[in-house]
Amino acid sequence: MSDTEDSKREDGDSLGLERWRMTGSVLIEALPYILSYDNKTVVVKYGGNAMDDEGARHFAQDIVLMKLTGINPVVVHGGGPQIGAMLKKLSIPSSFIDGLRVTDAATMEVVEMVLAGTINKQIVSFINRAGGRAIGLSGKDGNLIIASKMERTKTDPATGKTTVVDLGFVGEPEKVDAEVLRTFFNSDLIPVVAPVGVGRDGETYNINADTVAGAVAGAVAAERMVLLTDVPGVLDREGKLIPKLTASEARRLIADGTISGGMIPKVETAIYAVELGVKAAVILDGRIPHVLLLELFTEHGAGTLVCKG
């Protein structure tokens, strides 16, 4: 072997050794966080906008690693874009009021088919392919989510008259049976929950996935609730990330317009969760590969953390 070849080999060995050292440092940094989450529950809301194949693969790997390190992960997923695409394909008209899809009987059939069927099983499949054992549920299974019809009113600013807005089969969680989910915590199964609930008279309800995640997190006394979205987190007026907020601070930012648009319901869900007893809720950019692991197992975390106060 020539001197040049020897030099190349030594350089390669040095680079390999440095990578190993970096890997070792990362694992050592993660250790105290892994220990602190042992046997704790983390509820993760996975949105329909983040469900491309590569993102789903990274997400599934994170969930499997969480389970293997002693965390009890519960996945709650949405699927708005996929529902919209299927309604369009079937020529079923769709409309929204205050960001909520008006859900008549025909729309409800599609919602349940897409959420509890196609999307739920896709996520289950990704987790299983990553080495986990996931099981798909909807809120109807085991009466996991008892729901009631959501009531909305609108006030005419000109006349002051208030009218009831009928959203159809749109519901909100009335009760979450935590014992249904706890049966999985003592096994190697990972529950994946579609946000479809059942009424006390057997009606099927379409429920906002963020709201379901908050209700589930509160019911199981989760250590963390994580909302994966398509922005870095809550931003201030200069566009800079706000790393931590109390519930009262978050309310003030909503009131003064700093938090606006689609971020409002996510922050309200985070507030709702911590007021139900969840230790903290985190809003993360789900487009970042392995962002769940960065949040849970590193010193700096990621996104915006909302805590009670």
Compute the distance between CA of residue 254 and CA of residue 250 in angstroms, rounded to an integer. 6
Helix 263-275 with 247-255: angle, nearest 10 deg = 150
Helix 263-275 with 209-219: angle, nearest 10 deg = 10
Q: Would you state the pLDDT for residue 308?
A: 85
| pLDDT exceeds cutoff 80 at 201 | yes
| Residues 179/191, Cβ–Cβ less than 8 Å | no
Across residues 183-198, what is the average pLDDT? 95
Higher pLDDT, residue 26 or 221: 221
Across residues 254-274, what is the average pLDDT? 89
| pLDDT exceeds cutoff 60 at 260 | yes
| pLDDT exceeds cutoff 50 at 302 | yes
Give me the DSSP letters along 264-285.
Answer: HHHHHHHHHHHHTT-SEEEEEE
| pLDDT exceeds cutoff 90 at 212 | yes
Task: Name the pairing type of β-strands 171-176 and 304-307.
Answer: unpaired
CA nearest 79: which of 126, 47, 113? 47
pTM above 0.95, yes or no: no
Q: Would you state the pLDDT for residue 101?
A: 87
Q: Write the pLDDT tens digit of every residue in 5-34.
A: 555 445 556 666 677 676 667 677 778 778
Residue 90 phi, psi (nearest 5): -90, 5
Sketch the domain layout of the chain as residue ranges: 38-293
| pLDDT exceeds cutoff 70 at 4 | no
CATH architecture of 38-293: 3-Layer(aba) Sandwich (3.40)
Compute the distance between CA of residue 183 and CA of residue 124 in angstroms, rounded to an integer. 18
Q: pLDDT category, 239, cuts 50, 70, 90?
A: confident
Higher pLDDT, residue 15 or 169: 169
Structure tokens at 11: 């350089």
Q: Would you state the pLDDT for residue 8?
A: 45
Most confident region among 77-86, 96-105, 152-161, 213-222 by mean pLDDT: 213-222
| pLDDT exceeds cutoff 60 at 207 | yes
| Residues 216/74, Cβ–Cβ less than 8 Å | yes
Task: Name the pairing type of β-strands 162-165 and 152-155.
Answer: antiparallel
Across residues 150-173, what is the average pLDDT? 83
Across residues 128-134, what is the average pLDDT? 96
15 SS3 class: helix
Across residues 237-260, what is the average pLDDT? 91
CA nearest 217: which of 285, 265, 269? 269
Compute the distance between CA of residue 271 and CA of residue 111 in angstroms, rounded to an integer. 27
228 SS3 class: strand
